[in-house]
C-alpha cells in the first residue's frame, strides 16, 4: 500500500461512436491499481468492457479520457520514441495466438521482433534470447525454425507467451489466453503463466470470463459490469463470499462439479442493458434482486468496505468494517 503501484488508472474512459449517434461508453471512469508483482484477474461477461480496458492500458485502444501511470509516470500523452521505449515494458498475450502471429514468418523471427524493435537488441543477442525463451515455455529451441501452422493451439499460445516475454516487460495483459484451449491443455498454459510471472516477478492483468481459471492464477479479482469496476477484492476474500450482488450472481451461475452442492443458483433476470443507454442510478439495479429505491436514483461509488475489498454498491452483501463516507445502512444478506 505504501509503495507506488506499477499501474495506476484514474478516471480511465473509452468511448466508441454508437450506431444511433449516442457514444457507447465501453469503459466508464475506471480507477484501479495494479501492484508490482501481482496478478490481477479481471472478470465479467461479454460486452462488459474488460478487453477494452486491457487494451486501453497498453494504448492499443486509445483512451478517451483519464490517466494511466506506470510507476507514477503518466503515459497517456507519450508519443514517438518515448512511447516506444515504454511499450516494450507493456506486453500483451492474445486469446487467439494464431491471428497474432505472421503465418509466413519463422517462429524465431516473430518472437525476436519485440526484442529487436522495442529494446534495440543485436541480432545475435536476440537469437540467443529467443532460444532461451522457447526452452522456457517448453517448446524447445528447434521450434524457432518452424512456422505457426505446424503447431497446435496450446503450442501457439506458448509461442504467444514467449513473444510477450521477449523484451523482458514489467507488465503483461493476458486477454482470455486459455479460453480457446481444451481443458487439459488449458491447465498446462495456466501453470506456465503462473510459473513465469512468479519467477520473473512479472505483474499481470489476466482477463477472463472463466472464474475457475481466474481463481487459480490471480492474487486479486476485479469484476466489471457495463464498463464499470463493481468489486475488487483479494482472491480468497472474493471467492469466500462476494460483496456485490452481480459478483454473487456470476459466481452462482458457474456450473459446479460438486456432487452435493448446496449452492443457490441465482438466475439473473432480463438482459444486459444497452451500453449506449445505461439505466439511471446503479447500472446493475435493473437485474438486481436486492435493489431498493435508492439504487434506482443514486449511483453508488466504488468504496472500501473491508481491508482488501472495495465495492460499488449501496447494500453490499458482506458487513462493512470501514464506515461509508455518508450515512449508509448495510443490508443484504450477511453470513
Give me the residues that bind other proteins (CB under 8 A), please.
45-46, 152-155, 182-188, 190-191, 194, 209-213, 215-216, 235-236, 239, 249-251, 253-259, 261, 263, 265, 267-268, 270-272
Nearer CB in complex with other proteins: 55/215: 215
Q: Nearest approach, Cβ of 217 to other proteins (angstroms)?
A: 9
In total, the chain counts a number of residues equal to: 335
Nearer CB in complex with other proteins: 171/225: 225
**Phi, psi (degrees; rounded to nearest 5) at 140:** 85, 145
Nearer CB in complex with other proteins: 205/249: 249
Q: Nearest approach, Cβ of 271 to other proteins (angstroms)?
A: 5
Q: Nearest approach, Cβ of 74 to other proteins (angstroms)?
A: 35
Nearer CB in complex with other proteins: 72/270: 270
Q: Is the Cα dihedral 156, 160, 162, 163 positive or negative?
A: positive
How many whole angstroms separate alpha carbon 93 and alpha carbon 137?
A: 14
Q: Nearest approach, Cβ of 258 to other proteins (angstroms)?
A: 6
Nearer CB in complex with other proteins: 167/275: 275
Q: Nearest approach, Cβ of 55 to other proteins (angstroms)?
A: 20
Nearer CB in complex with other proteins: 62/262: 262
Nearer CB in complex with other proteins: 28/156: 156
173-184 burial, b for 16+ CB within 10 Å, e for fewer? bbbbbbebbeee
Cα–Cα separations (whole angstroms), residue 280 to 17, 21, 45, 126:
21, 19, 21, 53
Q: Nearest approach, Cβ of 99 to other proteins (angstroms)?
A: 17
Q: Nearest approach, Cβ of 49 to other proteins (angstroms)?
A: 14
Q: Can you name the residues that pair with 173 across neighbouring β-strands?
A: 92, 205
Q: Nearest approach, Cβ of 261 to other proteins (angstroms)?
A: 8
Nearer CB in complex with other proteins: 21/270: 270
Amino acid at each position: 500500500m505504501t509503495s507506488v503501484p506499477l499501474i495506476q488508472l484514474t478516471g480511465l474512459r473509452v468511448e466508441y461512436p454508437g450506431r444511433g449517434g449516442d457514444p457507447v461508453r465501453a469503459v466508464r471512469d475506471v480507477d484501479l491499481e495494479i501492484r508490482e508483482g501481482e496478478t490481477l484477474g479481471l472478470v465479467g461477461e461479454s460486452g462488459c468492457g474488460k478487453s477494452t480496458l486491457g487494451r486501453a492500458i497498453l494504448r492499443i485502444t486509445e483512451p478517451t479520457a483519464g490517466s494511466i501511470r506506470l510507476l507514477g509516470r503518466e503515459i497517456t500523452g507519450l508519443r514517438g520514441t518515448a512511447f516506444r521505449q515504454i511499450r516494450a515494458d507493456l506486453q500483451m498475450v492474445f486469446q487467439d495466438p494464431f491471428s497474432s502471429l505472421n503465418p509466413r514468418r519463422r517462429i524465431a523471427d516473430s518472437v525476436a521482433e519485440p526484442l529487436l524493435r522495442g529494446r534495440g537488441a543485436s541480432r545475435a543477442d536476440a537469437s540467443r534470447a529467443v532460444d532461451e525463451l522457447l526452452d522456457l515455455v517448453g517448446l524447445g529451441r528447434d521450434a524457432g525454425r518452424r512456422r505457426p501452422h505446424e503447431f497446435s493451439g496450446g503450442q501457439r499460445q506458448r509461442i504467444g507467451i514467449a513473444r510477450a516475454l521477449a523484451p523482458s516487460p514489467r507488465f503483461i495483459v493476458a486477454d482470455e489466453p486459455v479460453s480457446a484451449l481444451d481443458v487439459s491443455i488449458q491447465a498446462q498454459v495456466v501453470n506456465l503463466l503462473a510459473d513465469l510471472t512468479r519467477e520473473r516477478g512479472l505483474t499481470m492483468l489476466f482477463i477472463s470470463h472463466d472464474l475457475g481459471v481466474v481463481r487459480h492464477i490471480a492474487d486479486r479479482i476485479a469484476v466489471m459490469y457495463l464498463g464499470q469496476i463493481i468489486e475488487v477484492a483479494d482472491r480468497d476474500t472474493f471467492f469466500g463470499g462476494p460483496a456485490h450482488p452481480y459478483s454473487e450472481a456470476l459466481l452462482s451461475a458457474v456450473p459446479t462439479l460438486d456432487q452435493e452442492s448446496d449452492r443457490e443458483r441465482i438466475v439473473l433476470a432480463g438482459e444486459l442493458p444497452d451500453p449506449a443507454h445505461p439505466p439511471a442510478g446503479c447500472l446493475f439495479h435493473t437485474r438486481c434482486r436486492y435493489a431498493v429505491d435508492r439504487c434506482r436514483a443514486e449511483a453508488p461509488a466504488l468504496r472500501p468496505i473491508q481491508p482488501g475489498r472495495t465495492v460499488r454498491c449501496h447494500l453490499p452483501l458482506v458487513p462493512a468494517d470501514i464506515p461509508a463516507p455518508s450515512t449508509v445502512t448495510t443490508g443484504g444478506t450477511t453470513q
